Amino acid sequence: MATIHVGIDDTDSPKTGCTTYVAAILVEKLRKLGVSFIDYPNLIRLNPNVPWKTRGNGALSLRFRCHNHVVDDIVEQVIDVIEKYSDMGYDGTEPGVVFLFRSTVPDEIRAFAKRTIQGISQKTEAMKLIRRFGAEAAGFKTGRGIIGGLAAIGEILENDHTYELIAYRTPENRGISRKLDVASVLEMNKETGPLTFNNVDPETGRVLITPRGPDPILYGIRGETPLAVKRAHEMVRSIEPIERWVIFRTNHGTDAHLKRSNSVADVQPFGSTIVQGTVSRQPYVVPRRHVIFSIEDENVIDCAAYAPTGDLRKMARMLVVGDLVEACGGVRPATEKHSATINLEKLKILKLAQKYVFHNPVCHRCGNRMKSMGSGKGFRCDKCGLRSMRLKKDAVEKPRNIKERTYMTSPRSQRHLTKPLCRYGQEKLGKPKRMIRNWHFP
């Protein structure tokens, strides 16, 4: 028997296609070739900040055992499916596939995956590892997808992970409005949470399981266990037919993309960071209602809470100079018009500074509130005529309407990798000991 890991990436475009759909097709075809899956298909979200990504920047890996005599047929079948279902007509689509013929994934490939999720990797580095460990790769056009394909193999999800059941539309319905019974989604969300999450936006009531693009996905339900997402799927009533569905194991909702920086100077563009700093510039609102402020240690960097982030933006406006915070988010590189900026996904307030309001002093002779005579000219009392150059304004501490805790973007604007607050304490380790029955259809 042979153990094979297949990694696939970059088959879609902004106009059509989805790499998870390619994997779903392959699950059916590989089953017919007699393979035995050793894990659910792994949906690995890579660095969400790379400029050439399409939508969620997801790569896929399939891990299975098979008889040695069908290995060549499997390789041929995988390449045929990628050719058929990739949007080869789009300039930016550069599919790639990697085959690793080993029972375990080498540490060097696992390290490559982590770098690709948190930063930017090069194809030359991927090809060196492919040659070193006797893997095989096929690329279409420039074959940039080989990078993501190898990363999908390398991320074995031994640490925290979640599950997503994705249901797909029939071809005739793609490109038109998705048809679900909204009431059934709301009921599903009520009955299955928090074992499922981010089904509905609590601020607007908007259903979040349906994407908005022209891809073949009808809906995706995310959760903590395969049974939870399958139960949720069975509760959702679709008004259009479902062609197929598959349960994926994934790094969704795990913060896998965030890399802690020791200082502001260590923050890297096109990456995702966690960095501490003290608010050094009072938050202000720019056009389109985005909130901008700066944090510093020995260096300074801007932070941005965009209008769609909901409560996070509201809290960002309430910061004051001196607050100690931990900023989490993707790093937009500096341009001619803007400095480097952390696009906030989360903001952890570590220590609130005291905020004061200042009042003119009270006249000690008659108790009336005095008036300023101008900068540096002291105060006078209009009631009794007392004047003083020695009195100063009274500082009164003002209560803060925010707390020392973590604030984050609303579910409707969360990235795939962002860990929602409901997942804190739900982290899990290691792949499942066994897979549930009927984890895909057909």
The reported pLDDT for the residue numbered 376 is: 85
The reported pLDDT for the residue numbered 99 is: 98
Question: How long, in residues, is the chain?
Answer: 442
Return mean pLDDT, the chain.
94
Q: Which of 33, 117, 123 is nearest to 78 (CA)?
A: 33
The reported pLDDT for the residue numbered 435 is: 97
Q: Mind listing the pLDDT tens digit for each residue in 61-116?
A: 999 999 999 999 999 999 999 999 999 988 889 999 999 999 999 999 999 999 99
The reported pLDDT for the residue numbered 385 is: 87
Overall average pLDDT of the 155-178 stretch: 96
Res. 309 pLDDT band, cuts 50 70 90: confident
Percent of the chain residues past pLDDT 90, beyond the cut: 82
Q: How many CB atoms lie within 10 A of CB 138?
A: 18
Residue 194 has pLDDT above 90, yes or no: yes
Contacts of 339 (CB under 8 A, 6+ apart): 301, 302
Q: Mind listing the pLDDT tens digit for each residue in 253-307?
A: 999 999 999 999 999 999 999 999 999 999 999 887 899 999 999 999 999 999 8
The reported pLDDT for the residue numbered 337 is: 83
Q: Which of 95, 111, 8, 122 is nearest to 60 (CA)?
A: 8
Res. 44 pLDDT band, cuts 50 70 90: very high
**CA separation for the pair 271, 333 (Å, rounded):** 9
**CA separation for the pair 129, 271 (Å, rounded):** 23
Q: Mind listing the pLDDT tens digit for each residue in 312-351?
A: 999 999 999 999 999 999 999 988 888 899 999 999 999 9
The reported pLDDT for the residue numbered 50 is: 87
| DSSP one-letter code for 364 | T
Res. 55 pLDDT band, cuts 50 70 90: low
Give the residue, 357 or 228, on which the prediction is more confident.
228
Overall average pLDDT of the 46-64 stretch: 88
The reported pLDDT for the residue numbered 92 is: 85
Give the residue, 431 or 343, on which the prediction is more confident.
343
244 neighbors 28 (Cβ within 8 angstroms): yes
Overall average pLDDT of the 38-43 stretch: 98
Name the pTM for this structure: 0.91
Res. 209 pLDDT band, cuts 50 70 90: very high
217 neighbors 384 (Cβ within 8 angstroms): no
The reported pLDDT for the residue numbered 395 is: 87
Q: Mind listing the pLDDT tens digit for each residue in 25-39?
A: 999 999 999 999 999
Burial class (CB in 10 A: 0-12, 13-18, 19+), 116: buried
The terminus-to-terminus CA distance of the chain in angstroms comes to 25
Overall average pLDDT of the 346-366 stretch: 92
Contacts of 322 (CB under 8 A, 6+ apart): 278, 279, 353, 354
Residue 223 has pLDDT above 90, yes or no: yes
Percent of the chain residues past pLDDT 70, beyond the cut: 100
Residue 54 has pLDDT above 80, yes or no: no
Burial class (CB in 10 A: 0-12, 13-18, 19+), 430: exposed
Contacts of 308 (CB under 8 A, 6+ apart): 409, 410, 412, 413
**CA separation for the pair 270, 33 (Å, rounded):** 41
Residue 206 has pLDDT above 80, yes or no: yes
Element (DSSP H or E) covering residue 109 = helix 107-118
